[in-house]
Amino acid sequence: MGKKSAERNARLDTLRREQRRQERRRSFLIYGTGGLVAVAVLAGIIVYALVANQAKDESHSVGHVTAASAAATAAGCTGVVNDASRGNTHVAANQPVNYDLAPPSSGNHDASPLPDAYRFYERIPNLRIERAVHNLEHGFIIGWYDAKLPDDQVTALRTAADAAGNRFIAVPWARSEFADNKHFVLTAWDRTQRCATVSESAIKEFVKTYANPSPAGAAWASPTASESGASGGPLDLSPTIAGTAQAGSSAQADNTQAGNTQAGTAPSAGSDTGTATSAPAGAATSTP
């Protein structure tokens, strides 16, 4: 091999080594960068999941307050407060429960919930609040109104109840006056929102978010309600405590309820027309 051939071969070997070095560098850059991107994406996913889970845990923790929506704010409503569970034991039909929160968002209650054929309950004497609390455990939303809610707001609530869907009932609260001049209160099981005025939009938002199941079929479930998603009670408007009703009152209740049924104000047992009706003012006087 001549001198020139040896030099040429040496130059070719040098070029080949440099080419292989550059190819290795390009491969490292390509695969190394891709690996770093993949690691970064994976880390981002993990961080997002941790943050989302933490936020979810906080939103379900006792004492957490979900900010009021624009519609709720306009109605003078507070945010939605997560309340501590106050029990869910069934009590006898003649046993009152002294709720430490007015109105209650959970607690021990009558074994028979109020019939959900009625969307709006008049101020019936001795209405069994304990029955309404059972409706809460069944995933209903209750709009409570106290004796201080003005008549025009009661009328607005009656109209709103008609439009709120079959997971909402309006129930009077006669045991006390609500605090802070908030005479209308929305509750789900372990959720409370207190309002100064009645807002159909705020009611619908609350129902959509917290009813279980919601009208849209959302899967949100209260972490403490053992019977979420169940139906309302039988068509029985006899909410007084046993022993306080007189036989004559019971007979009058039967006659009144029969008359209301004939007049079309009370659906037949088990029916759900989807139309809000009011509980007759004189139809609730006998024992549950």
Confidence class for position 259, pLDDT limits 50, 70, 90:
very low
Res 21: pLDDT: 81
Confidence band, pLDDT 50/70/90 cuts, at residue 170: very high
- pLDDT for 65-116, tens place per residue? 999 999 999 999 999 999 999 999 999 988 999 999 999 999 999 998 998 8
Please say if the pLDDT value at position 260 is more than 80: no
- DSSP characters over 253-264: HHHHHHHHHHHT
Sheet holding 278-279, edge to edge: 65-66, 80-82, 191-195, 184-188, 141-146, 168-173, 120-121, 278-279
Which has the minimum average pLDDT: 24-28, 146-150, 169-173, 242-246?
Answer: 242-246
Structure tokens at 102: 């007015």
Other Cβ atoms closer than 10 A to 231: 16
Q: Which residues neighbour 92 within 8 Å (Cβ) at sequence distance 6 or greater?
A: 111, 242
Is the model's pLDDT at 216 over the cut of 60?
no
Distance CA 244, CA 285 (A): 9
Output the DSSP codes for 44-59.
HHHHHHHHHHHHHHHH
Helix (H) / strand (E) element for 186: namely strand 184-188
Q: Exposed, middle or buried by CB within 10 Å (0-12, 13-18, 19+), for 123?
A: middle
Q: In the predicted model, what is the mean pLDDT of residues 264-282?
A: 42
Q: What token pair was written down for 50? A: 């941790």
Give the pLDDT of residue 214.
58
Q: Could you tell me what percent of the chain has a pLDDT over 90? A: 48
pLDDT of 33 over the 90 cut: no
Which among 213, 162, 199 is positioned nearest to 76, based on CA atoms? Answer: 199
The band of 36, judged by pLDDT with boundaries at 50, 70 and 90, is low
Q: What is the mean pLDDT of the chain?
A: 77
Tens of pLDDT, residue by residue over 172-201, are 999 999 999 999 999 999 999 999 999 999
User: Cα(7)–Cα(101) distance, rounded to whole angstroms?
Assistant: 98
Q: What span, in angstroms and rounded, lies between the C-alpha atoms of 123 and 282?
A: 10
Q: What is the pLDDT of residue 137?
A: 92
pLDDT over 50 (residue 8): yes
By the 8 A CB rule, do 238 and 286 touch?
yes
Q: What is the pTM of this model?
A: 0.67
- In this prediction, residue 39 carries a pLDDT of 66
Please name every residue paired with 63 in a beta bridge, in sequence order, or none if there are none: none
